[in-house]
Amino acid sequence: MTTDQPSLMMTSPIPAPAAWKAADFARDDSWIHPLSEADIAAIDAALAGLEAKGLIMPDFTAADFPLGPLEAELAACSDELENGRGFCVLRGLPVERYTEAEIDTLYYGIGLHMGQPVGQNPRGDLIGTVMHVGDATKKETRVYETNLYLPYHSDPSDVVGLLSIRKAKTGGLSSLISVAAIYNEILANHREYLGLYYRPWYFAHLCEDTPSLSPIFSVNEGKLSCRYLRQYTELGHEIMGQPLSKVEIEALDLFDAMISRDDLRLDMMLEPGDLQFANNYMVLHSRNAFEDHAEPEQRRKLLRLWLKMPNARRLASEFPGRNGFPLPGKIAEPA
């Protein structure tokens, strides 16, 4: 959702809980929510209920997939995503007991209790597979399709979910970083660059055929939002024949220096059965390089969900919302 109210630069530091650093979690694991036996039993019952009704993904609603006590947990997670730290992790889904089709179904069903899953490619896939399947030497390769370091970035949706199915042989550590913490550092120590992040930049891979314009930072109704992935910004300007200036490159270098700081990021290994959710306007996500298993059936695999959230912030008109690709045969809704 967007509004025509003009965006103004935020000139005061952003407070907690949105602005957090790694040290804040040294003795705090409240962001991890273990699934209880009752939660898992509710998931199993919901799967059985769909089968009894003859319903298959995606042709069912949240009401067709009741989750009992887990619904309150998901509602709390949704509130945390928008009004708290911007992320949460559900832990302990026994993925080994389900078939691939059942995992897709239950993941989609969980998503329905938080928001509306949206398309992740022109085919309209509602669940994406994150594996090493692409050629890392090509600029056009989507970064999540390689086993190289995945730079910090935001996805084109209100919220991104990742469900871990298998870990890599080594590496593949997931990392999150607070946009507000980055902003506070730039505001305090490099204020001369701040205005550049509010100007429009060309971004490739925003679910459109050609790059489109968006600022990196935008403020609306008191909330800071961010859109970032340097590779796609550079590619967007290259495609549009609009070379970046020296000062723009300096601004991107500064941003990258902020997100590479150990004291800002929160690292976690997503174990099989972990579900990580992050607000794409508040949190950037990344993972380090990994070495995969030789056997295809043992290789690192995560499932991705993009969600359009009912409690999502209103976005400024110059920061157009992106909620995936239009589903085949459907007209795109206004952002």
Residues 209, 223: contact at Cβ < 8 Å? no
Residue closest to 217 by CA, chosen among 176, 252, 246: 252
DSSP code string of 261-316: -TTT-EEE---TT-EEEEETTTEEEEE--EE--SSGGGS-EEEEEEEE-TTPPPEE
> In whole angstroms, what is the distance from residue 277 CA to residue 314 CA?
20
Q: What is the pLDDT of residue 133?
A: 53
Domain range annotation of the chain:
29-310
Residue labelled with tokens 């899953």: 117
pLDDT given for residue 125 in this prediction: 95
Check whether domain 29-310 has CATH 3.60.130.10, yes or no: yes
Whether the predicted pLDDT of 5 surpasses 80: no
Stretch 232-251: mean pLDDT: 97
Q: What SS3 state is found at 124?
A: coil
Mean pLDDT of 5-30: 90
pLDDT digits (tens, 9 = 90+) for 118-131: 999 999 999 999 87
pLDDT digits (tens, 9 = 90+) for 267-313: 999 999 999 999 999 999 998 776 776 777 778 899 999 999 999 99
- Mean pLDDT to the nearest integer, 22-34: 95
pLDDT digits (tens, 9 = 90+) for 73-114: 999 999 999 999 999 999 999 999 999 999 999 999 999 999
Identify the residue whose tokens are 């897709």. 104
